[in-house]
């Protein structure tokens, strides 16, 4: 929210600021990458094919539900989309990024927004952002499926092996794990409500967990972007191999 103060013009017309730097440069890559990912993910989720090859399964389709279409006629990805989508949409970092890039509300720090009233996330629909912690619990479940997929990618016809796809899936789940375990809600869960760790039940393990999560949390923005790119690239790689556009390279 833009306020009268250092670096902000007092007129409150949209875009007014005392900043002299190119503040608008920050929102352009965010809009471009999030927009491109949103379009690609939507197309792939509804495509409903080219999502597996050999031991590889696209992260957009994991866990794979009813691929034979016994009771679900559409793309299996649609059945599981809400979990990862909801987790990213309600993420505290992404909220800041897309409020600025797409709603220009505000466009940047110390730059005036278009309206004078600000209800933030206290009213519908943005009050729904507060369900983030529940998407976190769901995402930890998704991580288990994606780790299973990464381990399966080491087995070709029952024999141990490794292809480029194995490395792609392994890198992707590692980045997704870092993104999930650097979550602000998880940090709050570990120690956010405590004034005194040594007085609390399970105080020591909670303190250890809180310290680890806090260290990861400092790079949450980086993990958010890296895991977004990796999940898109992992799906793209498997799509290309599955459709025959290019061949998986076996390393052993």
Using CB under 6 A, list all residues that contact ligand FES: 91-93, 132, 136, 183-185, 220
Q: Compute the C-alpha angle 81/236/225, nearest 5°.
A: 70
For residues 145 and 155, which CB has a smaller minimum distance to ligand FES in the complex?
A: 145
CB within 8 Å of 45: residues ≥ 6 apart = 60, 75, 77, 78, 81
> Is the CB of 72 or the CB of 92 nearer to ligand FES?
92
For ligand FES, the closer of residues 177 and 240 by Cβ is 177
Q: Which residue has the tokens 């976190």?
A: 136
> Three-class SS of residue 53?
strand
114 versus 177: smaller Cβ distance to ligand FES: 177
Asked if residues 230 and 176 have their Cβ atoms less than 8 Å apart, the reply is yes
Minimal distance in Å, beta carbon 212 to ligand FES?
A: 15
Cα distance between residue 50 and residue 237, in whole Å: 10
CB of 182 to ligand FES, least distance (A): 7
Q: How far is the CB of 33 from ligand FES (least distance, A)?
A: 16
Q: Which is nearer to ligand FES, 8 or 90 (CB)?
A: 90
Gap between the Cα atoms of 137 and 125, Å rounded: 22
Q: In whole angstroms, how close is the CB of 139 to ligand FES at the nearest point?
A: 8
Q: How far is the CB of 230 from ligand FES (least distance, A)?
A: 15
Residue-by-residue DSSP string for 144-207: HHHHHHHHHTTEETTEE--BHHHHHHHHHHHHHHHHHHT-HHHHIIIIIT-S-TTTSTTHHHHH
Cβ at position 225, least distance to ligand FES in Å = 11
Q: Which residues have a Cβ under 8 Å from the Cβ of 223 and sit 6 or more positions away?
A: 175, 178, 179, 182, 216
Find, among 211, 237, 228, the residue nearest to 87 by Cα.
Answer: 228
For residues 50 and 142, which CB has a smaller minimum distance to ligand FES in the complex?
142
């Amino acid at each position: 929210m833009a306020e009268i103060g250092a670096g902000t013009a007092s007129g409150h017309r949209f875009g007014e600021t005392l900043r002299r730097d190119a503040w608008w440069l920050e929102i352009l890559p965010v809009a471009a990458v999030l927009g491109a990912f949103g379009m690609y993910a939507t197309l792939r989720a509804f495509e409903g094919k080219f999502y597996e090859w050999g031991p590889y399964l696209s992260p957009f389709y994991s866990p794979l539900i009813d691929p034979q279409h016994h009771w679900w006629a559409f793309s299996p990805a649609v059945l599981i989309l809400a979990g990862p989508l909801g987790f990213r949409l309600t993420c505290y970092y992404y909220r800041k990024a897309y409020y600025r890039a797409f709603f220009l509300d505000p466009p940047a720090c110390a730059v005036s927004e278009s309206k004078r009233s600000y209800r933030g996330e206290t009213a519908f629909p943005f009050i729904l952002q507060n369900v983030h912690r529940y998407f976190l619990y769901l995402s930890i479940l998704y991580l288990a499926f994606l780790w299973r997929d990464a381990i399966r990618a080491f087995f070709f016809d029952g024999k141990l092996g490794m292809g480029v796809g194995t490395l792609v899936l392994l890198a992707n789940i590692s980045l997704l794990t870092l993104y999930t375990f650097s979550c602000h809600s998880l940090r709050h869960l570990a120690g956010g409500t405590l004034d005194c760790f040594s007085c609390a039940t399970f105080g020591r393990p909670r303190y250890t967990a809180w310290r680890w999560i806090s260290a990861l949390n400092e790079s949450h923005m980086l993990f958010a972007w890296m895991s977004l790119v990796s999940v898109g690239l992992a799906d793209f790689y498997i799509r290309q191999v599955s459709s025959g556009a290019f061949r998986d390279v076996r390393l052993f």
